[in-house]
Amino acid sequence: MITKIWSKEDLNDAAAVIKAGELVSFPTETVYGLGADATNNEAVSQVYLAKGRPSDNPLIVHLAQQTEVAKYVTEIPAIAEKLMAHFWPGPLTLIFKANKAALAPLVTAGLDSVAIRIPDNQITRDFIRACGVPLVGPSANTSGKPSPTSATHVYHDLAGKIAGILDDGETGVGLESTVVDVTNPDKLVILRPGAISQEEIEQTLGIIMNMDQYLVNQEAQPKAPGMKYQHYSPNEPVILIKQAEDWQAAIDYYQAKGEKIGLLANQSIVSLYENQIVASYDLGQAGDIETAGRKLYGGLRYFSETPATLILAEAFSKKGFGEAVMNRLEKAAGFHYFKRG
């Protein structure tokens, strides 16, 4: 299969491919999604096949407008209405009780719930309208690897496996959406942190949120994407560095073990140690967590093109958007932090 690259002028061509039951990667403000008709079970099965994704992992349904939500759920709690009004379109996914008859069985992975969002990208919403059907849209990458934030990343992982890619440049947020379970309105739970923080949701609703641990083991079925322990992982092992004084110790330790070190950190740290390592990727200025999040997946992917055999990565504060950044980094590293001695 030849994977085509389309621009926004080719929306109708890309939509025709979706209608024919094939796969198209599309941009969003978070990461690039792998689109298929969410009402076509055969098309959805090809998403799992192309990604190498376990079929017990449910998919997020992407819609063009809020009025469509009622078709695919059995109820919309008042508290969900408030979240939708405040944050949609945007990087927020809500999990509702599913109207399973309206969706392909594989979308919900056997669960009684469905995850839905409306992306904050006009091209994406126009594309969904042109398709005339809801789209599943898991990240358009090999399952478990860093998500794609550009059409180039998608092509690297899925060329020859999908019909085409709708190219809209690099994504703005760079991390997947925040996922909130609203199936029990009296006990809202964040299943995956993202650009919309717990604090923002609490301020909007005037309540204190319940926090999930964001994890299930490798055998258990997740209720939302990205909840497995090992996820977002590059080919090289990742070790997190928490304390500033640990950078030199970690470089010395792993070089003594024969590792070729890659550094994933802010500009100041990279400039301090770049003469001692084989590769580096800066995540922006120190303290700029939004830039770090936007560049994170590109950085994790970068090292596969270098001699690096191990990545030392900066650990960030878990305040605000840092919660989402560290959620991805800890899973990429398998929660491995450098410890002296």
- Bond from prior residue into 134 cis (ω within 30 degrees of 0): no
Query: What does the pLDDT read at residue 300?
Result: 97
Query: What does the pLDDT read at residue 1?
Result: 86
CATH topology of domain 4-211: DHBP synthase (3.90.870)
Q: How far apart are CA 186 and CA 202, in angstroms?
A: 13
147 is in an annotated binding site: yes
Looking at the chain, the domain(s) classified CATH 3.40.50.11030 span 238-332
Task: Record the pTM.
Answer: 0.93
Q: What is the mean pLDDT of each run of 10 residues along the chain (341 residues)?
A: 96 98 98 98 96 86 97 97 98 98 95 97 98 97 94 97 98 97 92 94 89 56 61 91 96 98 98 97 97 98 97 97 96 94 70
Query: What does the pLDDT read at residue 209?
Result: 82
232 is in an annotated binding site: yes
Q: How far apart are CA 92 and CA 193, in angstroms?
A: 9
Query: What does the pLDDT read at residue 40?
Result: 98
192 is in an annotated binding site: yes
Looking at the chain, the domain(s) classified CATH 3.90.870.10 span 4-211
- Looking at domain 238-332, its CATH architecture is 3-Layer(aba) Sandwich (3.40)
Structure tokens at 37: 């008709």
Query: What does the pLDDT read at residue 273?
Result: 97
Burial 263-291, CB ≥16 within 10 A → b, else e: bbbbeebbeebeeebbbbbbbbeeeebbb
Say if strands 164-166 and 24-26 run parallel, antiparallel, or are unpaired. parallel
233 is in an annotated binding site: no
From the CA atom positions of the chain, what is the Rg in Å? 20
For the chain, the helix, strand and coil percentages under 3-state DSSP, each to the nearest 5: 35, 20, 45
Angle 225-298-273 (CA atoms, 0-180°, nearest 5)?
A: 125
Structure tokens at 317: 């504060």
Q: Where are the beta strands (DSSP E) in the chain?
A: 4-6, 24-26, 33-37, 60-62, 92-97, 113-117, 135-136, 164-166, 178-181, 189-192, 210-211, 238-241, 261-265, 279-282, 310-314
294 is in an annotated binding site: no
